[in-house]
Structure 1
Amino acid sequence: MITLSNVTKIYKAKSGTVTAVDNVSLHIREGEIFGIIGYSGAGKSSLIRMLNGLEKATSGQVIVAGRDMANIKGRELRKARQEIGMIFQHFNLLWSRTVRENIAFPLEIAGVPKKERLKRVDELIKLVGLEGRENAYPSQLSGGQKQRVGIARALANNPKVLLCDEATSALDPQTTDSILDLLVDINKRLGLTIVLITHEMHVIRKICDRVAVMESGKIVEEGEVLRVFRKPEQPITKRFVQQVTEPEETKETISHLLEKYPQGRVIQLTFVGDAAEQPLMTNIIRKFNVSVNIVQGKISQTHQGAYGVLFIHIDGTEEEMDKVIDYIRQQQVEAEVMTNVE
């Protein structure tokens, strides 16, 4: 559906040139939800704007639904953009227009007849859950409702691709989750390819199938979300994953544990998928002659299954503790011994 081949975007500035996107190659499959994550200045906004022709690549190919967005213009570019919807961080609604009129706006530009236009708007209002708010103005809406209008408007022309530019950054956590649930529902119902950029790993964890991590204009890591959560390779990816998987002040907690427990072992357990649902602690207590203390942990649900990190302290004979660790690993749970104090 979307293929970027050796794409570079260079901006000219008074101080010289700035390479916002640096030789990026990427393939996004039809019908998937693909996330691009990076801190401010990583180049992700420039990258997503090249997907709908708002920015032109300095070099390389940007193929979206069979069209090279880097080399088309005029009527062909306008037609291509009708197949690529986009929602924004700050909604970009027309404040003098009602919900219905905002959603209808791209249909008016496309020359869709009024009767057909009204029917399509009604369908979209129902799809995004705005029944009863059709005649309200943006100033009368909550942040979540404004973004629902933005989503409906982006879907007006039946696009093949939906681009989300920090679409939940201006929303509170509860509203963010409701918007993300809506995007998943739209993806399933319409088979729409969704590309979203964000600096929040929670967004990636909740709805994305795959993720690319950007740093200094480059893709430094890419893969299935569950794989990236389980074994992040790059330092920046590890920092993002820690946002949602590790309790705060983990290092300080481990250091404290080593002082608190002069005997035994502190173990970090990593659960993935079905392993996160198993009564592992109960089985350890029943099967082995060790004391077990659950220190802290967190289980997160990704779009592809559960992922969890748990810190425990066990104490017993060396032989019995070795048996416990072997047993844990047999259950498809990763076990890393943080210390082994004699």
Structure 2
Amino acid sequence: MISISDVKKIYQSKSGPISAVDGVNIDIGQGEIFGVIGYSGAGKSTLIRMLNGLEVPTNGTVNVNGQIVSKVKGKDLRQARQSIGMIFQHFNLLWSRTVLENIQFPLEIAGVSKKERLRRANELLELVGLDGRGDAYPSQLSGGQKQRVGIARSLANNPDVLLCDEATSALDPQTTDSILDLLVDINKRLGLTIVLITHEMHVIKKICHRVAVMEQGKVVELGDVLEVFRNPKEQVTKRFVREVSQVEETGETIDHLLAQYPKGKVLKFTFVGESTEQPLITSLIRRFDLDVNILQGQISQTQKGAYGTLFVHLDGNEETVQAAVSFAEEQMVKVEVIGG
């Protein structure tokens, strides 16, 4: 569906060339929800803008649904963009037009008849949950409702791909979740390929199938969301995972745990998928002569299963503790001894 091949984007500045995107290779499948995450300046916005021709690569090719977007111009580019919808952080609605008129705008540009424009706009209003608000103006809508209008407008031309540029960054957490749920529903109903960029790991965790982590213009890590959560390799990825897991793993916190429990061992258990449903702690208590204290933990849901971390303190003789660790690993739980 989408193939990004050895793409580079270099800007010229007074201080010299700036490499915004540096040798990126990504393939995205039909119907996939693919996330690109990175902090400010990582190159993710430049990358997504190259998918619809708003930016042209300095080197490399961008192929979207068989069309080399990085090569076409003029009329061919405008036609290619009709199959690529886009929603933005700040909605980009026309404030002098009603909701229905905003949704119809891309169809108006495409030369679709007034009757067909109205039919399609009402159909999309229902899809995004805004029945009855067609005559309202953007100033009369909440942030979440404005983004729903933006989503409806982006779907007007029946695109094959939907690009989301920090689409939930301006929204509160509850509204963010409702918009993400809507995107998942649209993906399932329409089989739409969705590519989103964000600096929030919560967004990736909630709806994405795969994720690319960007830093300084490069993709430093790429894989299934669940696998990236389970085994983040790069420091930037580990930082994102810590943010969303809500489990502090700083040296200061670990030192505090070790000071509080000087005897025995402090362990970090990492659970993925079906292992999150196993009664591991109950089994440890029943099978081994140990004192088991749960210190802190968190379980999160992703599109491909659950991911969780749990810090525990095991107090007992060395041989028994080691046997308990081995038992936990046999249950497909990753075990890390952090002290003791």
Whether TM exceeds 0.5 here: the answer is: yes
Once residues 12 and 112 of structure 2 are traced to their aligned partners in structure 1, the CA distance between those partners, rounded to angstroms, is 40
Contact kept in structure 1, 2:226 and 2:307, CA below 8 Å: yes
The equivalent of 1:166 in structure 2 is: 166
SS in 1 for 2:17: strand
Q: What residue identity is the alignment partner of 1:142? A: S
Larger mean CA deviation between 75-84 and 331-340 belongs to 331-340
The equivalent of 1:17 in structure 2 is: 17
Percent identity between matched residues is 69
Please give the residue correspondences for 1:260-275 in structure 2 after superposition, counting only pairs within 5 Å: 260-275=260-275
Please give the residue correspondences for 1:77-156 in structure 2 after superposition, counting only pairs within 5 Å: 77-156=77-156
Superposition deviation, residue 59 in structure 1 = 1.2
Please give the residue correspondences for 1:177-192 in structure 2 after superposition, counting only pairs within 5 Å: 177-192=177-192
Please give the residue correspondences for 1:327-338 in structure 2 after superposition, counting only pairs within 5 Å: 327-338=327-338
Larger mean CA deviation between 12-21 and 37-46 belongs to 12-21
Once residues 249 and 339 of structure 1 are traced to their aligned partners in structure 2, the CA distance between those partners, rounded to angstroms, is 13
Q: State the TM-score, normalized to the length of structure 2.
A: 0.98
SS in 2 for 1:323: helix
Larger mean CA deviation between 234-243 and 250-259 belongs to 250-259
Q: What residue identity is the alignment partner of 1:76? A: D
Contact kept in structure 2, 1:91 and 1:146, CA below 8 Å: yes
SS in 1 for 2:299: strand
Q: What residue identity is the alignment partner of 1:277? A: E
Superposition deviation, residue 276 in structure 1 = 0.7
Superposition deviation, residue 250 in structure 1 = 4.0
Please give the residue correspondences for 1:1-342 in structure 2 after superposition, counting only pairs within 5 Å: 1-248=1-248, 250-340=250-340
Could you list the runs of 5+ residues in structure 1 that have no partner in the other structure?
Answer: none
Once residues 249 and 96 of structure 1 are traced to their aligned partners in structure 2, the CA distance between those partners, rounded to angstroms, is 50
Once residues 239 and 141 of structure 1 are traced to their aligned partners in structure 2, the CA distance between those partners, rounded to angstroms, is 35
Superposition deviation, residue 246 in structure 1 = 4.5
Once residues 319 and 72 of structure 1 are traced to their aligned partners in structure 2, the CA distance between those partners, rounded to angstroms, is 67
Could you list the runs of 5+ residues in structure 2 that have no partner in the other structure?
Answer: none
Q: What residue identity is the alignment partner of 2:282? A: T
Contact kept in structure 2, 1:34 and 1:210, CA below 8 Å: yes
- The number of aligned residues is 340
SS in 1 for 2:21: strand
Larger mean CA deviation between 313-322 and 154-163 belongs to 313-322
Once residues 270 and 98 of structure 2 are traced to their aligned partners in structure 1, the CA distance between those partners, rounded to angstroms, is 49
Contact kept in structure 1, 2:242 and 2:249, CA below 8 Å: no
SS in 2 for 1:196: strand
Deviation digits for residues 193-221 of structure 1, max 9, x if unmatched? 00000011111111001011111111111
Once residues 56 and 294 of structure 1 are traced to their aligned partners in structure 2, the CA distance between those partners, rounded to angstroms, is 53
SS in 1 for 2:328: helix
